[in-house]
């Protein structure tokens, strides 16, 4: 008897924002495209030019969760997000080499206050904790959700931990990078259980991603 067709449907979770355009270009290199009119941000589950492959458009921090629970078999997500993710059930087979940037500590150009315990503002709490713990430095973490550059300027924190690509955002806000924590790029992630159940389809897709990255 023939296998149920639905077994071979593959959902790829991608996120709007920083990595979206480059994710779409990479998918296009695999021959997986989405009609322009579907990219206006309202439709969240999109059919693609490849039968059996659909895209799920979600917040970047939700990508690992959707893949962990197998709602999406594959995901394209920044290493910065994966470093904050506290779950399991996913493999990370390919460094896609897109949306490259660095996770860095930055301070105000005109110096910091002299607090006994340094205050660090960030949304990258786990990576920041790990970084300062490795240095044996006790810091006070202030969790923010965006516009972190303001924190040292307004005296909320002594430094921030944030992504730096061109460095323009730091510069525009009078900040300078002082410590490099990690190089960041997008990764392909895959649900571990799906890797067994849809093995042939997923292995083939992963190989296509690898080939597209080499080009």
**Could you tell me the smallest distance in angstroms from the CB atom of residue 74 to ligand PRP?**
22
CA atoms of 61 and 79, how far apart (whole Å):
11
Question: According to the binding rule CB under 6 A, does residue 43 interact with ligand PRP?
Answer: no
The burial of 99, by beta-carbon neighbours within 10 Å (0-12 exposed, 13-18 middle, 19 or more buried), is given as buried
Q: Figure out which of the listed residues 162, 186, 209, 212 binds ligand PRP, where binding follows CB under 6 A.
A: 162
CA atoms of 27 and 18, how far apart (whole Å):
16
**Could you tell me the smallest distance in angstroms from the CB atom of residue 9 to ligand PRP?**
30
Q: Figure out which of the listed residues 93, 97, 167, 177 binds ligand PRP, where binding follows CB under 6 A.
A: 167
Stretch that binds ligand PRP, among 81-89, 114-122, 127-135, 160-168 (CB under 6 A): 160-168
117 contacts: CB under 8 Å, gap ≥ 6: 138, 139, 140
CA atoms of 78 and 167, how far apart (whole Å):
18
Question: According to the binding rule CB under 6 A, does residue 70 interact with ligand PRP?
Answer: no
**Could you tell me the smallest distance in angstroms from the CB atom of residue 46 to ligand PRP?**
22
Question: According to the binding rule CB under 6 A, does residue 28 interact with ligand PRP?
Answer: no
Question: According to the binding rule CB under 6 A, does residue 164 interact with ligand PRP?
Answer: yes
Question: According to the binding rule CB under 6 A, does residue 165 interact with ligand PRP?
Answer: yes
Helices (H), 57-110: 63-68, 79-84
CA atoms of 76 and 71, how far apart (whole Å):
14
x/- track of binding to ligand PRP for residues 170-209 (CB under 6 A): ----------------------------------------
> How many residues are recorded in the chain?
215
Give the CA radius of gyration of the chain: 20
Question: According to the binding rule CB under 6 A, does residue 100 interact with ligand PRP?
Answer: no
Question: According to the binding rule CB under 6 A, does residue 166 interact with ligand PRP?
Answer: yes
Strand order in the sheet with 101-108: 139-143, 118-122, 159-164, 101-108, 175-184
The size of the interface with ligand PRP (CB under 6 A), counted in residues, is 11
Residues that bind ligand PRP (CB under 6 A): 17-18, 146, 162-169
């Amino acid at each position: 008897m023939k296998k149920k067709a639905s077994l071979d449907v593959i959902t790829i979770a991608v996120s709007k924002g920083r990595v979206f355009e480059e994710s779409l270009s990479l998918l296009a290199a695999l021959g997986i495209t989405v009609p322009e009119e579907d990219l206006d941000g309202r439709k969240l589950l999109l059919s693609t030019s490849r039968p059996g492959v659909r895209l799920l458009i979600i917040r970047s921090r939700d990508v690992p969760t959707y893949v962990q629970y197998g709602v999406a078999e594959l995901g394209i997500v920044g290493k910065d997000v994966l470093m904050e993710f506290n779950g399991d059930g996913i493999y990370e087979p390919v460094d896609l080499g897109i949306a490259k940037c660095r996770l860095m500590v930055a301070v105000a150009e005109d110096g910091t206050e002299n607090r006994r315990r340094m205050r660090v503002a960030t949304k990258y709490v786990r990576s920041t904790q790990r970084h300062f713990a490795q240095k044996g430095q006790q810091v006070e973490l202030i969790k923010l959700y965006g516009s972190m550059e303001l924190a040292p300027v307004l005296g909320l924190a002594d430094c921030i931990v944030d992504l730096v690509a061109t460095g323009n955002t730091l510069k525009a806000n009078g900040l300078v990078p002082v410590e490099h924590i990690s190089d960041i790029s997008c990764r392909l992630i895959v649900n571990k259980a799906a890797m067994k159940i849809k093995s042939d389809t997923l292995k083939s897709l992963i190989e296509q991603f690898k080939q597209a990255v080499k080009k």
